[in-house]
């Protein structure tokens, strides 16, 4: 209805109009109550790259209830994909989880390949998996630094930013983009590896392993860090599964579930390497952080093994120049740095997808915040939010 | 599950301080892990981006036939092309005059560009190239619209394509020499 002068509206419609306006505004009103004090954490916060508002109701120092209010960064990617051709979509979905961008492309491309009945050549599958793991390392190493920053240990943040650059340089050398590679194509990859890249990447992996040892000494072994994370924000496995937690959050609760091992989609070669899924039985903030640290270590091992065994051959299958995906539906999910990320593509045989549903891990992971933050103290909210680890763009898409 | 060691109080703190001290000494050494100081004094020293880095799009005007493929495939439609047709003299004596397209306008709006590289990839005549140059920020957003002269100037900064890693079957492309 827009801005309407209330005097112009007949008396009978006035009430309905006001009710409609109030319904629109209820998003903001529903958190305001009489009991306790309302504390807004966000939408802007210096330690977050993105905007998420968390409304906490406090009784003194204790949190009565805590409600995340996502939507400040909604960019409408699901709708935007409906007017973009398949090659154009990959450049958009890079921006969903901006710290591990390459991992966002892979499930979409795999789903489209599944619909078209194309399989990428083995060399492309290997390089795809390597880049997937590199983006995981870049993403989670920043998590470890961010965790330190949020809990008052700034040093590890600087080391994380420094050492993540080794991985980003490798991603840039092969894809051309540090953050938004846009490298994955239906039927293979855009380009092959440049000369000397394998040796350089092995060196970078050495450095990342040294970084992991450093984080272990600097942060994980630190008594203050342990005091602020051990026994805080405990998520029992059944509650975590009920809220749809995935990734390191559920593995930190002792559930041995990893899509890379359990449901590896065709097009990634995790079954050809020897690696381990780490779990931790405690389910607290420390467990989640520790599992993520082990994941970086494991990812460096996966990359090293894959680099040794890249087969020779082309990196692109035979694909028509104008890509039309045949009619059908497909859902492909992969284990992204944050958890399960999946794309449900409905195609009507057109140049553009008819509908794309993006299942991003952070949206589910943040849904447990009201449950896990009930009754904790205010400083613990920061530990819990930091250890749950969501990317704000991944929540809102 | 890591083995739980009986720890002396304050051991973790001291270990952390040890890491910080080690790193402090490392930055003083010229060729340590990470190679001395990590930062560079930007306007005086510059970091060299990778040759494949997507910095700015360069146009090689001679190769462009105004086929509009790049403008159509661009995800946010930030390429603007105008052209007119003209009759070129025939190649052989007595032949028909050839119809050719002359480029009037080729603009890329870098304030909209997402640096995805689709235009460079779809160009069938090798008229667009990536250059790793990155220093073209402007005070006014309208100045980010690069016209064909400006895009042509970037072409001088385009590096040669790198050779591929062993086991690759891809052919190394060549940058045209004007």
Long-range contacts of A116-120 (CB under 8 A, 24+ apart): A116/A186, A116/A187, A116/A323, A116/A325, A116/A326, A117/A326, A118/A186, A118/A187, A118/A317, A118/A319, A119/A266, A119/A267, A119/A317, A120/A187, A120/A188, A120/A189, A120/A267, A120/A315, A120/A316, A120/A317
Give the per-residue pLDDT at A344: 92
B176 three-state secondary structure? coil
CA B63 to mean position of chain CA atoms = 19
| Preferred mutation among B16, B47, B112 to probe A, highest tally of A CBs within 10 A | B16
* Grouped pLDDT means (10 residues each) for chain A, 397 residues: 60 70 52 66 68 80 82 85 87 86 89 88 90 91 86 85 88 87 86 87 88 86 84 87 87 87 84 87 88 90 90 86 86 89 88 88 86 85 86 82
Q: Who has greater pLDDT, B119 or A31?
A: B119
Asked whether the beta carbons of residue B167 and residue A313 sit closer than 8 angstroms, the reply is yes
Give the per-residue pLDDT at A4: 57
Sequence-distant (6+) residues with CB within 8 A of A56 are A38, A39, A40, A41, A63, A65, A66, A67, A373, A378, A381
Give the per-residue pLDDT at A3: 56
Report residue A98 as tokens. 């901006």
User: How close, in Å, is residue A42 to chain B by CA atoms?
Assistant: 28
Asked whether the beta carbons of residue A194 and residue B118 sit closer than 8 angstroms, the reply is no
Asked whether the beta carbons of residue A221 and residue B168 sit closer than 8 angstroms, the reply is no
Chain A residues closer than 8 Å to B48 by CB = none
Task: Tell me if ipTM is over 0.90.
Answer: no
| Preferred mutation among A182, A225, A313 to probe B, highest tally of B CBs within 10 A | A182
Contact B73, B118 (CB under 8 A): yes
Q: How far apart are alpha carbons A284 and A253 in whole angstroms? A: 7
Q: What is the pTM of this model?
A: 0.84
Asked whether the beta carbons of residue B12 and residue A226 sit closer than 8 angstroms, the reply is yes
User: How close, in Å, is residue B64 to chain A by CA atoms?
Assistant: 20
Which residue in A221, A253, A257, A231 sits closest to A240, CA to CA? Answer: A253
Q: Please provide the DSSP assignment of A333-383 as one string.
A: EEEETTEEEEEEEEE-SSSS-SEEEEE-HHHHHHTTHHHHTTT-BHHHHHH
Q: How far apart are alpha carbons A245 and A363 in whole angstroms? A: 9
Asked whether the beta carbons of residue A221 and residue B167 sit closer than 8 angstroms, the reply is no
Give the per-residue pLDDT at B32: 47
Which residue in A19, A99, A112 sits closest to A393, CA to CA? Answer: A99
Asked whether the beta carbons of residue A312 and residue B168 sit closer than 8 angstroms, the reply is yes
Query: Do you find a cis peptide bond into A216, omega within 30 degrees of 0?
Result: no
Of A192, A198, A222, the CB nearest to B16: A222
Which residue in A396, A13, A389 sits closest to A233, CA to CA? Answer: A389
* A-B contacts (CB, under 8 Å): 120
Give the per-residue pLDDT at A29: 44
Per-residue pLDDT reduced to its tens digit, A4-63: 565 666 777 777 776 666 555 444 444 555 567 777 777 776 556 777 788 888 878 888
Domain architecture of chain A: domains with CATH = 40-394 (1.10.645.10)
Of A169, A190, A218, the CB nearest to B19: A218
Asked whether the beta carbons of residue A217 and residue B19 sit closer than 8 angstroms, the reply is yes
- Find the mean pLDDT for residues B77-90: 85
């Amino acid at each position: 209805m827009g801005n309407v002068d209330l005097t112009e509206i007949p008396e009978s419609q006035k009430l309905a109009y006001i009710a409609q306006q109030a319904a629109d505004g209820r998003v903001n009103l529903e958190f305001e109550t009489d009991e306790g004090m309302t504390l807004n954490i966000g939408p802007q916060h210096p330690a977050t790259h993105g905007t998420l508002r968390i409304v906490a109701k406090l009784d003194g120092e204790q949190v009565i209830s805590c409600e995340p209010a996502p939507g400040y960064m909604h960019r409408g990617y699901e709708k935007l994909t409906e007017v973009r051709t398949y090659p154009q979509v990959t450049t958009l979905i890079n921006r969903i989880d901006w710290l591990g961008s390459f991992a966002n492309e892979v499930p979409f491309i795999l789903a489209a390949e599944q619909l078209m009945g194309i399989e990428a050549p083995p060399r492309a599958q290997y390089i795809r998996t390597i880049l997937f793991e590199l983006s995981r390392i870049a993403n989670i190493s920043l998590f470890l630094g961010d965790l330190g920053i949020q809990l008052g240990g700034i040093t590890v943040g600087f080391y994380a930013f420094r050492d993540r650059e080794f991985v980003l340089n490798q991603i840039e050398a092969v894809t051309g983009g540090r953050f938004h590679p846009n490298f994955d194509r239906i039927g293979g990859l855009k380009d092959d590896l440049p000369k000397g890249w394998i040796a350089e990447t092995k060196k970078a992996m050495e450095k990342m392993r040294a970084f992991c040892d450093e984080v272990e000494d600097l942060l994980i072994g630190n008594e203050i860090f342990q005091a602020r994370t051990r026994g805080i924000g405990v998520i029992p496995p059944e509650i975590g599964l009920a809220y749809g937690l995935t990734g390191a959050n559920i593995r930190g609760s002792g559930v041995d579930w990893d899509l890379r091992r359990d449901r590896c989609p065709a097009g990634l070669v995790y079954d050809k390497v020897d690696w381990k899924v780490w779990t931790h039985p405690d389910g607290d903030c420390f467990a989640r952080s520790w599992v993520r640290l082990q994941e970086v270590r494991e990812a460096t091992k996966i990359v090293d093994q894959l680099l040794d065994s890249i087969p020779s051959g082309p990196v692109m299958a035979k694909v028509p120049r104008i890509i039309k995906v045949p009619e059908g539906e497909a859902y492909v999910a992969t284990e992204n740095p944050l958890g399960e990320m999946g794309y449900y593509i409905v195609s009507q045989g057109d140049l553009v997808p008819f509908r794309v549903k993006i299942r991003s891990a952070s949206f589910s992971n943040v849904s447990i915040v009201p449950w896990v933050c009930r009754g904790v103290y205010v400083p613990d909210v920061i530990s819990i939010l930091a250890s749950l680890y969501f990317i704000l763009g991944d929540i809102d898409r | 599950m890591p083995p739980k060691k009986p720890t002396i109080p304050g051991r973790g703190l001291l270990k952390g301080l040890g890491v910080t001290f080690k790193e402090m000494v490392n930055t003083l050494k010229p060729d340590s892990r990470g190679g001395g100081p990590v930062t560079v004094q930007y306007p005086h020293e510059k970091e060299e981006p990778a040759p494949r880095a997507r910095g700015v799009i360069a146009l090689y005007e001679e190769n462009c036939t105004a086929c509009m493929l790049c403008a159509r495939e661009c995800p946010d439609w930030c390429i603007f092309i105008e052209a007119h047709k003209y009759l070129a003299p025939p190649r052989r004596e007595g032949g028909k005059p050839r119809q050719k397209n002359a480029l009037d306008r080729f603009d890329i709006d870098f304030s909209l560009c997402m640096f995805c590289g689709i235009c460079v990839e779809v160009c069938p005549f090798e008229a667009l190239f990536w250059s790793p140059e990155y220093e073209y920020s402007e005070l006014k957003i309208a100045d980010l619209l690069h016209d064909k002269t400006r895009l042509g100037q970037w072409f001088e900064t385009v590096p040669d394509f790198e050779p591929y890693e062993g086991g690759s079957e891809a052919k190394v492309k060549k940058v045209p020499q004007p």
